[in-house]
């Protein structure tokens, strides 16, 4: 069962928390529009896969929650390493996602073949993030 929507205005600043973590440990980063060095990118991908695997292999709800938080922390840390304006990108992607529609119950309109999916209706446009990565 889906619980009522949380009041996101009361949530902690997750991205700011991750920025604080990156600063504390002087983690490597680049300017928006630049690619992460290959070794840093490879390391970040390894971390994401590790946390995703922990979620997949979780045997309790607590382990699922821990893996999801850790995965989010790593993903936000990767965005921070890129120097992205993540909050603005999030706002735009969220707006585009809200323009999608629920898949048919039989999944016939889903590329994944699932009625659990959310799909792009005709005329749907993705978020434009190009100015957030421009030099």
Domains of the chain: 9-84 (1.10.3420.10), 86-135 (no CATH)
| pLDDT above 80: residue 2 | no
| Residue 11 CB coordination number (10 Å) | 8
Residue 134: predicted pLDDT: 85
CA 53, 95, 20: angle at the middle one, nearest 5? 55
pTM of the model: 0.82
Question: pLDDT, tens digit, for every residue of 23-38?
Answer: 999 999 999 989 999 9
Residue 8: predicted pLDDT: 45
Average pLDDT for the chain: 91
Question: pLDDT, tens digit, for every residue of 91-129?
Answer: 999 999 999 999 999 999 999 999 999 999 999 999 999
Dihedrals φ, ψ of 110, to 5°?
Answer: -105, 130
């Amino acid at each position: 069962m889906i619980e009522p929507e949380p009041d996101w205005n009361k949530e902690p600043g997750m991205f700011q928390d991750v920025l604080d973590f990156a600063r504390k440990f002087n983690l490597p980063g680049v300017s928006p529009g630049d690619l992460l060095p290959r070794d840093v990118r490879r390391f970040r991908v390894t971390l994401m896969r590790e946390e995703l695997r922990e979620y997949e292999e979780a045997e309790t709800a607590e382990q699922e929650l821990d893996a999801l938080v850790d995965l989010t922390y790593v993903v936000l840390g990767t965005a921070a390493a890129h120097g992205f304006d993540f909050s603005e990108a999030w706002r735009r992607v969220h707006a585009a996602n809200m323009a999608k529609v629920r898949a048919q119950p039989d999944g016939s309109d889903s590329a994944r073949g699932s009625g659990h999916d959310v799909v792009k209706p005709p005329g749907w446009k993705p978020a434009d993030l190009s100015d957030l990565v421009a030099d």
